[in-house]
Structures are given as C-alpha cells and as structure tokens.
Amino acid sequence: MSATLANPTPATSQQLQSAYARVRQLLENERTDQGHWTGQLSASALSTATAISAMSLMQQNGGATKQQVDEPIEGGISWLAEHVNEDGGWGDTTKSYTNIATTMLAIAAIRIADREAEYPALIERAEKTVDALGRLDGLRARYGKDKTFAIPILTNCALAKSCPWEAISALPFELACLPQSWYQFARLPVVSYAIPALVAIGQARHFHRPSAWPWVRWLRNAAVEPSLRVLERMQPESGGYLEAVPLTSFVVMSLAAMGRGESEVGKKGLQFILDSRRDDNSWPIDTNLATWNTTLAINACAGAGEQVHDWPCWDWLLKCQFSQRHASTGAAPGGWGWTDLSGAVPDADDTPGALLALRTCFEQLDADDDRQRDLVDAAVAGVTWLLDMQNRDGGWPTFCRGWGKLPFDRSGSDLTAHALRALHVWRQECSAERIDRATRKGQRYLSKQQRPDGSWTPLWFGNQDHPDEENPVYGTSKVLFYYRDSGQIETSVADRGLRYLAQTQNPDGGWGSQTSSVEETSLAVEALLACPGPVATEAASGLSWLVQTVDDGEVSSESPIGFYFAKLWYHERLYPLIFATSALGRAIRKAELGPSTWNHPLDAVSEKKSAKQDET
C-alpha cells in the first residue's frame, strides 16, 4: 500500500466543517454578479509571444497603426523579459518549466518586433537554451507526427528569419475547400479544431516557398480565395478562433506576412488580440472557461449537499447550449462548450458537465415546477449529441467523431467516464435502450484503457513532474467517479483503480508527482471516499492534508495541471477551490465522521466487499 504517512492523524468533523466553510466562501467570492463563475486562466508566455509577433507583423505590413500596437508590444516584451526562467528559457506559465516551443516563440517575438538590440544578453541565453534542447529536432521530438503546433511555431520562427522556410512542411490548405463533412476522411495533418491554422499557415508557406511542382502550385493558387472564405466563415463574432490567443495570433501573423492583414479576418483577429491583453501586459491562452468552471462548481456544491436549484445561473447555462450547427467543426446542435463566448466549440467534456449540473437542478425542483420541462428538453438534446459523438472504439473524443489519427483527436478515458456519468443520470428521460448500448461499449473501452497498475490517463490534463507529463491521478479519479455514480465501485476494475490511488499517495498525505497539489489531492480523496464502509486511511490522511493546507492559507495555490491542446500547460484560479470544495463537502456527507470511522486501510475495506464479477 502507500508509504508511511507523515501525518496520519485524522481531521475531526469540526475541522472538516471549518475547512469546507472557508473554501466554500473563497469559491463564492469568485462568483460573478450574474450568478456564474468565470475564473481566470494563467498568464502565458507562449500566448504573449505569439501576440507580440502578430501585432508587430500587422504594423509592419499595413494592417495596424503604431498607435494601436506600440504600447501592447512594448508591454508584452517587458513582461517576457521579467518572467524568463533561471535557465534562460520560458515555460508556458510562470510556474512551468522551460520548454523548447515557448522559448523559440519568445525569441521570434523579440526579433520580429525589432527589439533584439535592447535585449542582447536575454536572446543569447535563450538561444543557448534552444540549442541545449535540440532546436528543430527537439521541437519535432516534442510534438511527433502532430503538426498542429509544430508547423505554426516554425512558421513564426521563419517570419523572424530564425528558421528557413525549407524546414517547414507544406500544409495542404486546399483540403479546407472540401465539404466540412469530408474532413475526417481527408487525413489532415492537423487536429479537427485547427482548420484555421491549416488555411492561414498553409497559405503563408505557399506564399513564401511555393511547391516546385507546377500542378501543385496551380492547385494551391486556385484554392487561395476559396480557403480564405472558409477562414472567414469559421471566425467567430469575437474574432478569436476558439477564443484562443495562440491560434488567432498564428492566423493573423500569417495573413499579415502575405499582405492580407487588412482583410476582415485580419482586422477582427487583431482586435481580439488587443482585447485579450491583461493589465500586467500578458496574454492568457484563452479568454475564460466560464461554462466549464460553472458546471464544476455547481456539481461540487451539489455533491456537498447544497440546494442549488434556486441559483440565478440556470438560464445562463441553458443559453450556453448550442442550438445550431457549429461553423468551425460542423458539430450538430445540442452540446456545450467551455465558455459562453462566441469562440467556444461544443465538446464531450463540457457537455457532460452541463448535463450533470442540469440533473441536479431537475432533482431538486418540485415535480410540478414548469422549469423541469425546459431542463428535460435541454438534456434530451445534449444526450443525443453525446450519443452521436461516441467513437467506434467505444470511447468519446473531444470535438469530432472519427478523427482518431492524432493524439488530441482520439478517445479519452476522462472524457468517456464523464460522458457515461451524464448518460447514466438522464437514462429514464432519454433513450434508455440506446444509452444502454453506448454504456456497454464505453465500459469496454474503459476496461481496455486501464493500465496494469490500475490507473487511467486523461487526455486534457497532465503533471509536468511526471516522467511522461501524464496525470494518472486525475484520470483515475475521474473514471472512478463514474463507477461510483453508477453503483459499480465494488467491481474489480474499480477496485484496481482505488488501489492505484492508495499506492501512489505521497508521504505527506497528498497526491501529485514529486509535490502534492490541492487539485490532485482533492480528486484522489473524493474517489477514495467512494469506498463502501468506513473512510480508508489514505482518504483520511488526504483530508488531513487538505485541512492543513486550508489552515495554512495555501488552498488557493494553483498547479499547472491543464493541457490546452498540444502540451500547452495552463493553470486555472478556480480549480483548487472547486476540487477542494467537492472533496471536503463529500467527506462531511459521508455518514457521521467520528474517530471510530477513520484509519481503516483500504485493504481492510476491500476484504469486506462481495466478490462481484466485473460487469465490463
């Protein structure tokens, strides 16, 4: 089992109540006047660098005035200079280790802005860091076959004259002219959500280094205007593709470098970049995760036993549901994205989160309340959307069904478990037979994805201290939440997951690679609390760690555990508060917590389980 814990003394019920009240108040303080949560994503050196490059190229090529961009450029460069790591490179966030992608982009930004002479020592150290990390070979090794991020980075470097155009693979932007429903069959070299990058960066490469083959040049010349119309059609009202500063900046800088900065797409994209600038002169990776954070908060508080049906955010959440086919991915109506802003895309993580939140409200309303009908209508549309998203392997992808070629388009265990939880709670009101078929396929997928040590790995979360930058604590906990909610926590597959969590607990009582984090500890504790019977030693020690962290005033400390697309790290201000609220609240609800119910090893609890057959 786990290592000897430094602080095995269990927290008392009073301490748990006090810790919960304090964390819950911190979470409540983050709520907006409209009743939902917006949160705040971490400042990103990568986003800041790409924004600087885009604004500089727009100004140099007639797409922006000096008055528009000079101050943001100067402020952004100063922010980069102030937040360089000790080794001379940059990480994605101020808490992230140096990586080759962000360091190359920061160098490129300073050069494109023609500020290299002002920062000679900074650039010299950064170049040495890039050399040490392998330069082009190191970048390709980081991203493998996925060109979604490697090609934009190299394009940015080529625009800074730091990389030859010959080193950049040509992207087949002409394929964007195909009907959208054909994209999944075209074997595109980028992920489903990166069509804007395919078009703009592909055209920039064609503009600066056209193909040596006459027929390819003819084809791509003919596809320039039609594919630009695709780019314009996909651009949301805010101007920001996916509300993401890096993706939008790559599009804008590519258009500017071709003399198309004054196009409607270029002007709207530039305005989005300017609007996304923060007071400290940095840029985040995305505008916000308002829908995701709100549903997480609702489900955390409801899990703690709170009455949430009278909260003022329900109409807002219902309006976040997509009612039309999405222009960017072609997704059918019915799903939810991560934010209420126009750049969001429906996905198979935010949609289950919304469905679980709606179920909580539905169950707390009186049977004769007219609002129940609206909730059921939204749930039916959401469940149908989810069912239609299931891949052939039984799992759920993020944005588009059938795009399984590249890592961030494949099915994910965390997504699948989340989808199964949502289908489970709405089974009676929706197509029970179809949900049952999807559930059997999904459970087979989860069983196949479980590793020999009992863990599951998530798609969109990691840990920078893990040898493979994975986060099995997050993934395993999220899958176990499904087995808990569906009454299968005593099956052998779930038991292996629980044992994995128990065995990977840190000596201080928390969870996380090398260093315990509030987010991972909270998730692991909540999963272990699902064990039937008394609270296991591991969960008790984890709760003690959380209580101590609250007492020390450190519960708001964020960890960079989130992936925003291709290994781009982020942390979110609300994650530790939401996850701790959920874990502490469920601990309080788990029977009367007194001294006699604590310090039972997980083995002892498991021995009392009936020998259920694994239904998967």
pLDDT of residue 608: 37
* pLDDT tens sequence across 154-204: 999 999 999 999 999 888 899 888 887 777 776 777 777 788 999 999 999
Q: How far, in Å, CA of 512 to CA of 62, rounded? A: 49
Q: Is 470 a member of any domain?
A: yes
Same domain as 174, residue 132: yes
Q: Is 1 a member of any domain?
A: no
Same domain as 378, residue 236: no
Q: Is 586 a member of any domain?
A: yes
Question: What does the chain come to in residues?
Answer: 616
Q: How far, in Å, CA of 12 to CA of 50, rounded? A: 50
Which domain does 113 fall in, by range?
44-284
Weakest mean pLDDT among 46-50, 273-277, 462-466, 588-592: 588-592
Q: Does the pLDDT of residue 150 top 50, yes or no?
A: yes
Same domain as 402, residue 278: no
Same domain as 293, residue 241: no
DSSP-derived 3-state class of residue 101: helix
Q: Is 457 a member of any domain?
A: yes
Count of H helices and E strands in the chain?
Answer: 23, 4
Q: How far, in Å, CA of 453 to CA of 455, rounded? A: 6
Question: Rounded to the nearest 10 degrees, how much is the dihedral formed by the CA atoms of 461, 465, 466, 468?
Answer: 80
Q: Is 616 a member of any domain?
A: no
DSSP-derived 3-state class of residue 211: coil
Nearest to 505 by CA among 523, 485, 479: 523
Which among 252, 284, 316 is the end of a domain?
A: 284
pLDDT of residue 404: 65
Same domain as 533, residue 409: yes
Same domain as 196, residue 333: no
Amino acid identity of residue 329, one-letter, is T
Is residue 571 classed exposed, middle or buried when 0-12, 13-18 and 19+ CB atoms within 10 A define those classes? buried
Query: Per residue in 510-538, is it b (16+ CB within 10 Å) or e — as a string?
Result: bbbbeebbbbbbbbbbbbbbbbeebbbbb
DSSP-derived 3-state class of residue 590: coil
Average pLDDT over residues 326-346: 91
Same domain as 575, residue 468: yes
Q: Is 566 a member of any domain?
A: yes
Structural domain count of the chain: 2
What's the CATH number where 244 sits? Answer: 1.50.10.20
Q: How far, in Å, CA of 430 to CA of 46, rounded? A: 43
Same domain as 439, residue 338: yes
Which among 241, 260, 284 is the end of a domain?
A: 284
Copy the structure tokens of residue 130: 């890039």
Per the confidence metrics, is the pTM higher than 0.85?
Answer: yes
User: Using N-to-C axis directions, what is the helix angle for 432-449 and 413-425, rounded to 10°?
Assistant: 150
For 286: left if phi > 0, alpha if psi spans -120 to 50, otherwise beta; the answer is beta
Q: Is 614 a member of any domain?
A: no
Same domain as 593, residue 563: yes
Same domain as 179, residue 240: yes
Q: Is 273 a member of any domain?
A: yes
* pLDDT tens sequence across 543-562: 999 999 999 999 999 999 98
Same domain as 526, residue 414: yes
pLDDT of residue 102: 96
* pLDDT tens sequence across 499-557: 999 999 999 999 999 899 999 999 999 999 998 876 788 999 999 999 999 999 999 99
pLDDT of residue 603: 47
pLDDT of residue 402: 79
Question: Rounded to the nearest 10 degrees, how much is the dihedral formed by the CA atoms of 446, 449, 450, 451?
Answer: 180
Q: Confirm if 300 and 585 have CB atoms less than 8 A apart.
A: yes
Same domain as 250, residue 177: yes
Which among 284, 311, 326 is the end of a domain?
A: 284
